[in-house]
Amino acid sequence: MLDFLWNLGSFILALGILVTVHEYGHFWVARKAGVKVLRFSIGFGKPLLKWYDKQGTEYVVAAIPLGGYVKMLDERVDEVSAAERHLSFNAKSVQARIAIVAAGPLANFLFAIFALAVMYMIGVQSVKPVVGSIVEGSRAAAANIAENQQIIKIGDDDISTWQDATFSLMSQLGEQQVVLTLRDQNYQQHSVTLDLDGWKLDQQDVPPLASLGIVPFRPQATLTLAAISQGSAAEQAGLAKNDTIIAVNGETMSSWQQLVTLIHQSANKSLQFSVKRQDTIIQVMVTPKGRNNQAGALEGFLGVAPVVEPWPESYIETRHYGPVDSIVLGVKETWRLITLSFDMIGNLITGQVSVKNLSGPVGIAVGAGTSVSYGLVAFLSFLALISVNLGVFNLLPLPVLDGGHLMYYVIELFRRKPVSEKTQEFGFKVGALLLIFLTCFALFNDVSRL
């Protein structure tokens, strides 16, 4: 319950910030273009707070925090007096209307630059992309990538973090191959060619690295328990924090993975644990609860988390930048996110990326909660990513989105007359249906991941 409330609160905070930024873009340019703004609303439904400025604009914070809008004076919607006609949206030139509509997504992109620049100025702590292991028979194994090698370049992209590696590989979808530059523990560099022919992201929740057979280095999990889930089989059996698992049914446990494998194979079966508690060895009977995994197979679940060994100092890197360098990096990273987002849309259309990977509000809420718990730097990075996605999504040529309006105005610019109201109305209906379908599909994906 606490996790749910934390994720919900983080989601509302993140969405509130990004919607405010987006709508303020429309609002600011509309004011500059001489359009009268009637209402600036964050959220929908019943107003919780509202106030007015000197120009008569009503500001609203509403009860349903799932978006927002800017209502402008418009003869197509309301009756407008002759004295105020010059202040209406529809009376402005097509260039002015294009600027007003495009300002929302542009504001999201500018906010991403700002968030990333602040993040770089605070300092970014990251893990070097050192390979932990390679899956046998995978594309990475065929390319002779080995454990303990650090990825320093993919194609022409310099790689400093696992996020860099992931984004770079995703941009290579549809290519036949890519050259990786690796550095071994003796600081010797060499290059390998990774075969990408036919590579697709067609499985739900399988990251690009994993689909290629690359497992990032992670410190080893020990057999000492760091946490016990409330109501779990471990708690019911009497296991406690700081207990160390020595053996199960007389079989000595040599690794955490060995224990996990045994638990997964023992759903609803009683097991005798030999446990070291302080200086005493005790015997505990444990019955792992059964649950279905993503493949639908029954597996055992204990409800514990292990103590993990610390990261090697040489694998952790903290980078600080000055204001100018931070802004430059923010621009570069935002541009990379924009191009990657458009690439992913294209890959979804062509089938290179499965629609199963789409996330909706639940996925965003979980991401928001996780990033907030990791601190300000992680939350800023998350905000930048979602802000770019929001901007790109709104540029899609669906008539109910900013991109749809822009499509109509660009057509008007070349035709020198507006698209007929009948055509626009039909487009809005089709766009609304497509948007509802996409939202429902993304929600279905979210629920399937729970």
What pLDDT, in 10s, does the model give residues 390-422?
A: 898 889 888 778 888 898 888 888 888 888 777
What's the pLDDT band for 430 if we cut at 50, 70, 90?
confident
Q: DSSP labels for 184-250? A: -TT--EEEEEEE-TT--B-STT--HHHHHTEEE--PPEEEEEEEE-TTSHHHHHT--TT-EEEEETT
Report the percent of the chain where pLDDT is more than 70.
87
What's the pLDDT band for 364 if we cut at 50, 70, 90?
very low
CA 124 to chain centre: 18
Cβ-based neighbour number of residue 292 at 10 Å: 10
What pLDDT, in 10s, does the model give residues 227-240?
A: 998 889 999 999 99
The predicted structure's pLDDT at residue 270: 92
DSSP state of 62: E
The predicted structure's pLDDT at residue 5: 67
**Active site residues per annotation:** 23
The span from the CA of 135 to the CA of 426, in Å, is: 51
pLDDT at 203 over 70: no
What's the pLDDT band for 368 if we cut at 50, 70, 90?
very low
The predicted structure's pLDDT at residue 372: 46
For the chain, count helices (H), then strands (E): 12, 18
Lowest mean pLDDT among 32-36, 96-100, 329-333, 349-353: 349-353
pLDDT at 262 over 90: yes
The predicted structure's pLDDT at residue 241: 92
Beta bridge partners of 71: 39
Lowest mean pLDDT among 93-102, 215-224, 378-387: 378-387
The predicted structure's pLDDT at residue 362: 42
Contact 207, 215 (CB under 8 A): no
Do the strands 271-277 and 244-248 form a parallel or antiparallel pair, or are they unpaired?
A: antiparallel
Which domains does the chain possess?
Answer: 125-218+312-319 (2.30.42.10), 221-309 (2.30.42.10)
What's the pLDDT band for 141 if we cut at 50, 70, 90?
very high
Instruction: Classify 205 in phi/psi space as left (phi over 0), alpha (psi -120 to 50) or beta.
Output: left
What's the pLDDT band for 369 if we cut at 50, 70, 90?
very low
The span from the CA of 174 to the CA of 350, in Å, is: 10
The predicted structure's pLDDT at residue 243: 93
Identify the burial level of 441 via C-beta atoms within 10 angstroms of its C-beta, where 0-12 means exposed, 13-18 middle and 19 or more buried.
middle
Report the percent of the chain where pLDDT is more than 90.
39
The span from the CA of 286 to the CA of 249, in Å, is: 11
Lowest mean pLDDT among 108-122, 254-268, 355-369: 355-369
What pLDDT, in 10s, does the model give residues 20-62?
A: 999 999 999 999 999 999 999 998 888 889 999 988 899 999 8
Contact 65, 76 (CB under 8 A): no
353 versus 182: the higher-pLDDT residue is 182
450 versus 168: the higher-pLDDT residue is 168
CA 432 vs CA 138, 276, 402, 427: distances in Å: 42, 61, 13, 8
- pTM across the whole model: 0.76
Nearest to 124 by CA among 307, 325, 309: 325
